[in-house]
Amino acid sequence: MTVLTLNRWNLSIGEGQPLVVIAGLNVLEDLELARDAARRLKALTTELGLPYVFKASFDKANRSSIRSYRGPGLEKGLEILRAIKSEFDVPICTDLHEIDQAEPVAEVADLVQIPAFLCRQTDLVVAAARATQKAGGLLHVKKGQFLAPWDCRNILDKIKEAVEQDMTVLCERGVSFGYNNLVVDMLGIQEMKQLGAPVTIDATHAVQLPGANPKSNGASTGGRRAGVPILAKAAVAAGADGVFLEFHHDPEKALCDGPSCLPLADAGPLLATLKAVHAAVRQ
């Protein structure tokens, strides 16, 4: 099983490594909110001895409505992420959506993320892989809601052909199950790991109800927040090497995907439980 390392941060993910925590905000709202989330999550993960990567998006390009909040954009967003990285001495994870974003994003992000809906966009994946390799980072590729776990082999092969090295972490985030619903097949985590890549669980987006938020009459995505800890614990028990979690100080006031994110106050107990589950299943 491949173990991948961010050498600058002495952070490794894969078989035999500590559980990696990729956590933060769904989308950047302002610098102070990002600072507080990074401060609290780094303190918690340091106390627990868990490797930590701060995550936040500068743009949420895939929105249900044209009126939905998307974020501060590339320039301002990377400025905020650069400030968080410097102030709190943490690696950064953020996603990109366009080919010309690859190099500027890879200069800031240590873990460059390919969104699920874009995981088969060859030009984007190749551009992100080459820019990330050049910058010394890793790729975090979310499995599309339309893909079987074993179909991720094509994603890994594509990246390997482009950069001639293993640099990809795969992320499980559920699969479409009828209309407005997602499910997670926990057996898929081992199927993906058998492809030779470390695997994470995006427990936040896996509880989404796409296009089914009753508060907006379907103009935004709903979610089942209470399911996030359930999926996270189950996935770690099934062998996930890392967890991807999004928090907010007040989820009901979050500008994006509030129904799926957890209150920041819940982070400590959940991460402690996930560490214990990870240790138990690897004895």
Domains and CATH numbers, the chain: 4-281 (3.20.20.70)
Q: What is the pLDDT of residues 41-95, one digit of tens each?
A: 999 999 999 999 999 999 987 766 777 778 889 999 999 999 999 999 999 999 9
- Residue 43 carries which side chain, given as an amino acid letter? A
Q: What is the pLDDT of residues 217-238, one digit of tens each?
A: 444 567 788 999 999 999 999 9
Residue 55 near residue 77, CB atoms below 8 Å: no
Active site residues: 26, 60, 257
Residue 273 near residue 262, CB atoms below 8 Å: no
What does DSSP say about strands 222-223 and 208-209: parallel, antiparallel, or unpaired?
A: antiparallel
Residue 141 near residue 153, CB atoms below 8 Å: no
- Give me 225's structure tokens: 């927040």
- Give the separation between CA 164 and CA 84, rounded to whole angstroms: 31
pTM reported for the whole predicted model: 0.94
Beta bridge partners of 201: 172, 243
What does DSSP say about strands 4-6 and 11-13: parallel, antiparallel, or unpaired?
A: antiparallel
